Amino acid sequence: MSQATSRRPDGRLILLLGALAACGPISIDMYLPSLPSIMQAFAVTSGAAQSTLTSFMFGFSIGMLLYGPLSDSFGRRPVLLGGIAMYAVASVACALSFSIDSLVMFRFVQALGAGAASVLARAIARDAHAPSDAAKVLSMLAIVTSIGPLLAPLIGGQLLLLGGWRVVFSVLTVFGVVCAVTAYLKVPETWPKEKRAESAVLRSFGAYGTLLRDPVVWGHLLCGGMAFASMFAYITATPFVYIEYFHVSAQHYGFLFALNIIGIMGWNFINTRLVGRVGAVPIISFASLVSFGASAFVCLVSLTGWGGLWSIVFGLFFVVGVVGVLSANCTTELMHRYPMNAGAAAAVFGAVQLSLGAVSSMAVGIWTDGSPFGMGVVVGGAGVLCLAGRGLVLRAHRKGVVVV
């Protein structure tokens, strides 16, 4: 399967790629209920425990920047397999960590490996399907990918009861091994040798400079990246806000988390039905408005305390729900704009998303006081910048764009 065709999207390949792309989200979400336990186990502050999440985000973003150009030059399959193998080995090291510093370091390495699965699953999906199907396919991929994070906090909460946080990383090790074996047996090479010959490694890395000088790219990066930053402020803060401030049990935390994953799946399902008819840019425009409005609401209720827990849960449902829609459509637009550097385009988008997520995670850690205050401020600020990104996208695409 080396050429994209206009046939029906390959459902089996999408299922497999969705599972691989879930390596990163599952590695984050399954251990979220364990953060308070990790804090207690190593006798560190909540900010120190949250640094294991921040290091993962930075490793994930760096990995994505490396794997995109490397896969453009050497093919998708070998780079994907190497990354997943690194992920499995690092998961073992996380389970055996003897200090918070070693856990932070091994989480960074684990994320370097997981980045391969995330960026290359999307690049392979784009390679294997016609350009006209790409946004729909990536939304379908996001729906499949969301199943893992939907279940991961629920599973993580139960594993915490069974054997503590180390058991969580043991299960992630098994997941990594299964992914590595399945990818070796089932994932085809989708980037032809003749195209690789046209993209030397240095030229592939040089594509980042071209991408980052393009104002259209920056519009998409802000739209997708700031929505993602809002989501990671939520991911970083809610284990402490929900469990310690609102006294939600670690096991019930997973159910509240699952509400947002259901929102992601629902919005992506709607996207698969609409994107072929109305186009990606109008959907990006509308989803950005939703992200801004919901972020402003979360900021307001976090600062005032109005409505308590359920007001925050309600606002976050919409903040998090549109992240997948923005990611799918913004990534598709960038890969279509740079077809010969699709891997690099997907990588720079993913890396910026993850970097912004890491920065928002750090900001929440700095401002955390056990209340929703830090989360509200970061989510609100990210919503404003997402709206600014919408303005750049519409300005760049104003000719023929329906503004909603």
Output the DSSP codes for 172-185: HHHHHHHHHHHHHH
CA angle 219, 348, 6 (to 5 degrees): 85
Count of beta carbons in the 10 Å neighbourhood of residue 308: 11
Contact 216, 393 (CB under 8 A): yes
Residue 149: pLDDT band (50, 70, 90) is low
What percentage of residues in the chain have a pLDDT greater than 70?
84
State both tokens at 181: 């074996």
Residue range 29-42: mean pLDDT, rounded: 85
Dihedral of CA atoms 100, 228, 13, 208 in degrees, nearest 10, equals: -90
Summarize the chain as % helix, strand, coil (round to 5): 85, 0, 15
- Residues 300-359 have pLDDT tens digits of 998 888 888 899 999 999 999 898 889 888 988 887 778 777 767 777 887 788 788 878
| Mean per-residue pLDDT of the chain | 81
- Nearest Cα to 148, choosing from 297, 24, 272? 24
> CA nearest 308: which of 400, 251, 242, 209?
242
- Burial bucket for residue 8 (CB in 10 Å: 0-12, 13-18, 19+): exposed
pLDDT in tens, 393-404: 888 776 443 333
Q: Are 328 and 271 in contact (CB under 8 A)?
A: yes
CB 148 within 8 A of CB 257: no
* 386 touches 298 (CB < 8 A): no
Instruction: Report whether pLDDT(16) > 60.
Output: yes
pLDDT class of 174 with cuts at 50, 70, 90 = very high
Q: How far apart are CA 89 and CA 300, in angstroms?
A: 43
Residue 203, both tokens: 């030229």
The pair phi, psi for residue 45, each rounded to 5°, is: -75, 165
Distance, in Å, from the CA atom of 379 to the CA atom of 372, rounded to the nearest integer, reads: 11
User: Torsion angle of alpha carbons 132, 114, 147, 133, nearest 10°?
Assistant: 0
- Rounded Cα–Cα distance for residues 38 and 220 (Å): 36
Report which of residues 77 and 102 the model is more confident about: 102
Picking from 20, 135, 112, the residue whose alpha carbon sits closest to that of residue 65 is 112
Amino acid letter for position 336: H
Question: What gap in Å lies between CA 18 and CA 36, rounded to an integer?
Answer: 30
pLDDT of residue 5: 44
Residue type, 177: V
CA-to-CA distance for 336 and 222, rounded, in angstroms? Answer: 18
- Domains (ranges, CATH) in the chain? 11-187+199-396 (1.20.1250.20)
- Cα separation, 162 vs 82, in Å, equals 32
